[in-house]
Amino acid sequence: MMQRLVILAPNWLGDAVMALPAIADVRRGLPGVHLAVAARAAVAPLFQLVPDVDETIVLGSAVSLRQVGAWGAIGRELAGRQFDAALLLPNSIHAALLAFRAGIPERWGYSHGVRRQWLTRSVQRPAVGHQADYYRRLVAALGFENGPREPTVTVADVARSAAARLLADAGWRGRTPLVALAPGAAYGGAKRWPPDRFGELAATLAADGVQCVLVGSAADARTAAEVTRAFTARHAGPIAIVDLTARTDLPALAGVLTRCRALVTNDSGAMHLAAAAGTPVTAVFGPTNEHATRPIGDAHTVVAHAVWCRPCMLRECPIDHRCMHGVTVGAVVDAARRTMRR
């Protein structure tokens, strides 16, 4: 009888959020089992917002399989924890080898190349579709009934109150409506709508009486500064832009997003976190495929510019970045106004 199950989470925030419906399916199917999630440090705090998860295990950096001398480290974080089974959401050789080396007797996941040899139950990979459905099809094939398709996180009242204080300290004008802006993107520069257009967007919304708050990681600080400069050059009114870049962890970011009427963003992890927290999203898509990674739900809007070369899935554009430069500020403003929660 199974007593302990560990789920290896995807390595990117957006993918981890899109995996939440599949994790919820497993929880409903195994209500009495101790359910742990093993995740990289950048993603692990997400599961503080998921009550269905009993334990979060932080994994170290992946060991390169080319470094044979380092193979002894693979699986150490999970070894000796008495897990009966491991569900592998990453479709990597490393994830399968990690579960095998940890001595977990049952190892489930999609079959792919040589990793089949380390799985005890393998499922054929489905045709291309939305990433959330990719995970849901895996657990369905393993016998877990699929439930709701939309990812959800639970943001406690204390986190919402802390977010309000953080916003106020950074310059939020109290009752002024808030819209969050996430101008960064971890995958590469090609996913980023130009910062000056985010700044123009913020200035346009400020003229409507809406205050914008910038969110992102430390890696987005330069982009956020460019947005602020563009905003300042276009807006001389009393409403200033609020910059929380690099000032929030994932739970705090979720709290901030619940205080906002909308998020305007590139295709990013923040996009999926906002949708899961119940904040309407306007997402600008360029090189990536909105049919595979758009936020799920009727509250969200995708803005894209149709050009022959998208979706190319490249990190950097080798030509003129026409997919993003073709998205006008007016189109995004109109979408944000429609999306904005009243």
Task: Specify if 151 maps to a domain.
Answer: no
Number of independent structural domains in the chain: 2
* Beta-bridge partners for 214: 181, 243
**The model's pTM:** 0.94
Task: Specify if 227 maps to a domain.
Answer: yes
Pair (137, 176) in one structural domain: no
CB of 186 closer than 8 Å to CB of 211: no
Specify the pLDDT at position 72: 55
In terms of DSSP bridges, do strands 281-285 and 262-266 run parallel, antiparallel, or are they unpaired?
Answer: parallel
Domain ends where: 141, 172, 204? 141
Pair (286, 254) in one structural domain: yes
Domain ends where: 113, 141, 169? 141
Pair (269, 305) in one structural domain: yes
pLDDT mean values, one per 10 residues, the chain (342 residues)? 95 96 98 96 96 94 54 74 96 90 95 89 90 97 97 94 93 91 88 97 96 95 96 93 95 96 96 97 96 94 96 94 96 93 54
| Residue 335: CATH number of its domain | 3.40.50.2000
Q: Which residues contact 228 (CB under 8 A, 6 or more apart)?
A: 199, 214, 241, 243
Task: Specify if 137 maps to a domain.
Answer: yes
Specify the pLDDT at position 63: 53
Task: State the residue range of the domain holding 72.
Answer: 4-141
Task: Specify if 147 maps to a domain.
Answer: no
Pair (66, 207) in one structural domain: no
DSSP H stretches of helix in the chain:
13-18, 20-29, 93-101, 131-141, 157-170, 195-207, 221-234, 250-258, 269-277, 290-293, 322-325, 329-339
